[in-house]
Amino acid sequence: MCSIIGYKGNEHASSVLVEGLRKMEYRGYDSVGIATIKSGKLLIRKGVGKVAEVNKSLRLDELPGNLGIGHTRWATHGGIVDSNAHPHLACKSTIAVVHNGIIENYNELKNELCRSGHEFKSETDSEVIAHLLEEYFEITGDIRLSMIFTCKRLQGSFAFVAMFNSSTLCGARYDEPLIIGVGNDDYFLSSDILGFLNYTDRAIFLDNRDIVILNDNDISFFNFDGDRVSRRMTQVAWELGDADKGKYSHFTLKEIHEQRYTIVKSMQQDKKNLEKFCDILTGGKNIYITGSGTSYHSALLAKQIFSKSKIHVETIMSSEFQYSSDMLDENSVLLAISQSGETADVIQSVKSAKTMGAKVISIVNIPTSSLARLSDSYLEVKCGPEIGVAATKSFTSQIALLYYVADIIGRKSNGILSSKDILVKAVIQVLELDSQIEGIADQLKHSKDVYILGRSLHFPICLEGALKIKELSYIHAEGMAAGELKHGPLALIDTNSIVIVLHPDDSTYGDTLSNIHTIKSRGAKIVGISNKKDALYDYQITIPTINESLYPLIEVIPLQLLAYHLSICNNGNPDYPRNLAKSVTVK
């Protein structure tokens, strides 16, 4: 959830670090800090706020030196205050550490270290790493041994970078990503390739339980048992770093508008990869799909898409997987969906599926992610970097790819391949509704509760629309299967309620119309998203007519735009909603 970065080379380290942190800020953005070394002395500046704000007030990028570490924080242990921001120093100020993850046994370690005389300055779990390194360095006088002994004591998940005043930079990872960028005369240690992609496209991906040590003229790798290991260098795609707002005021808006290209791009798959993926999928006796948040909504929709193609699948929310995974065995296939490929709940699900002998395939946006590397086969949605915390284009790319796969392996087609051109035109038409939707958002901005109703394929879109509204505008929103209204939630509907109805002229039209009448008679305001005009709606968002199965791909877009504009109307920051992070690497 946090981003960490280290740099050692000939450049002015603090400027490189600040730039890298800016690129990775989507991972967490409560506070930020930098430490560098100059003439054997550790210098540190850190504070609460986003990178640009803190840099403006503390001039992080003016710290001298060619070696340094940096961090943006997404608070888990301890409040959002300067003292909890990273880097954390050990007692003698000769070791500084930045950490991503959670140290589960930090309390026990802290008590032990306090008993040996260490003094803590923060409430974080991360600070124990700095003190443990100091403790073991005092005993052994050896950085490699201090790293090994420290890593062995830590329970939980972690990637950390430590800087010693002898100008040594070290890193270690366990269940959190840590990647080395290899430049001509310099090295980067980062939680994401975006942290260094401006400088180099050569990367080394550390494995779990790896330690890396960078001395003046040497880079060496060890595992937690102290054995030397070797790691291969790979070349990563430059386009992964193409993250620029362009003419848009926010990444989120840009990413919503990019759907005119991204949806169909997800269907451009390498033939061999696709075959392998489909073979594994069809080879499973039982197929399960898992994901979190938006990606779980893709899974829910996939269940319906696959069932229309006569393939039965079950969905399991990744955070609940551990409680229902007994069903999986060597005849099972688990399809994991994740934009980032780093979500802890998803990774955990995949690991337990593998221990049960199941095959694992995945749909990811980042081919270098942990999920892709854990999978027997994976497909990329290829929608480019998604920086906005809210998943938008990655969602429609995931579902387009799922339609595509279902149509290839299924007995009955959803028709996505024959409708590609119509689909692109329809997406463009919906995006042109942007300013109309901005006007509706202005009318609805003071709402306290929003309900989104739909049936069948539209139900997962109701859930996704509600998630977008909650996440971006902080307005309470609930997605519901329209038929469930009368079984309880109707009690909530009154003249203050806003009900958005996904109501295209398809097989769900008639039944949903009855629900609309019921709501209308209780005085609620109705926003209809439909291809058929109706005076019943207080506000109508008219979407084009397309193949009935494919509506989810276009009707989610007005909901994304509405959530975006509600955020702007309520003075939110749609790219960085409060309390959230893009890549949720904690459980």
Contact residues toward ligand M6R (CB under 6 A) are: 292-295, 338-340, 343, 346, 389-391, 467, 471, 584
- The pair phi, psi for residue 250, each rounded to 5°, is -140, 155
DSSP-derived secondary structure for 418-487: GGHHHHHHHHHHHHTTHHHHHHHHHHHTT-SEEEEEE-TTHHHHHHHHHHHHHHHH--EEEEEEGGGGGG
Closest distance to ligand M6R from the beta carbon of 168 (Å): 34
- Of 85 and 263, the one with the shorter C-beta distance to ligand M6R is 263
* Cβ proximity of 564 and 250 under 8 Å: yes
- Of 33 and 293, the one with the shorter C-beta distance to ligand M6R is 293
Integer angstrom CA distances of residue 55 from 38, 85, 162, 430, 495: 19, 14, 22, 39, 48
Closest distance to ligand M6R from the beta carbon of 369 (Å): 9
Closest distance to ligand M6R from the beta carbon of 456 (Å): 22
Closest distance to ligand M6R from the beta carbon of 430 (Å): 19
- Of 143 and 193, the one with the shorter C-beta distance to ligand M6R is 193
Q: Which residues contact 488 (CB under 8 A, 6 or more apart)?
A: none
Residue nearest to ligand M6R (CB): 293
- Of 20 and 465, the one with the shorter C-beta distance to ligand M6R is 465
Closest distance to ligand M6R from the beta carbon of 363 (Å): 9
* Cβ proximity of 159 and 190 under 8 Å: no
- Of 132 and 366, the one with the shorter C-beta distance to ligand M6R is 366
Annotation marks residue 151 as catalytic: no
Closest distance to ligand M6R from the beta carbon of 536 (Å): 30
Q: Which two tokens stand for residue 283?
A: 């080879």
Give me the catalytic one of 2, 151, 170, 462. Answer: 2
Closest distance to ligand M6R from the beta carbon of 474 (Å): 14
- Of 146 and 339, the one with the shorter C-beta distance to ligand M6R is 339
- The pair phi, psi for residue 207, each rounded to 5°, is -85, 165
Distance (Å, whole) CA 283 – CA 265: 27
Q: Which residues contact 167 (CB under 8 A, 6 or more apart)?
A: 8, 37, 40, 67, 216
Distance (Å, whole) CA 72 – CA 15: 15
- Of 146 and 392, the one with the shorter C-beta distance to ligand M6R is 392
Closest distance to ligand M6R from the beta carbon of 238 (Å): 22
Q: Which two tokens stand for residue 61?
A: 């990028």
DSSP annotation of 154: -
Give me the catalytic one of 23, 254, 525, 582. Answer: 582
Closest distance to ligand M6R from the beta carbon of 97 (Å): 26
Q: Which two tokens stand for residue 304?
A: 């319906």
* Cβ proximity of 191 and 70 under 8 Å: no
Edge-to-edge, what's the strand order for the sheet holding 88-89?
88-89, 95-103, 156-164, 168-174, 210-215, 218-223
In terms of C-beta distances under 8 Å and separation of at least 24 residues, what long-range contacts does 197-201 make, across chains too? 197/23, 197/236, 197/238, 197/240, 197/241, 198/19, 198/20, 198/23, 198/241, 199/16, 201/235, 201/236, 201/237, 201/238
- Is residue 126 classed as helix, strand or coil in its secondary structure? coil
Number of H helices, E strands in the chain: 18, 24
State the alpha helices, DSSP H only, in 288-390: 293-308, 321-324, 344-355, 370-374
- Of 168 and 343, the one with the shorter C-beta distance to ligand M6R is 343
- Of 183 and 479, the one with the shorter C-beta distance to ligand M6R is 479
Q: Which two tokens stand for residue 312?
A: 């039965």
Q: Calculate Rg over the CA atoms of the chain.
A: 25
Annotation marks residue 38 as catalytic: no
Residues serving a catalytic function are: 2, 582
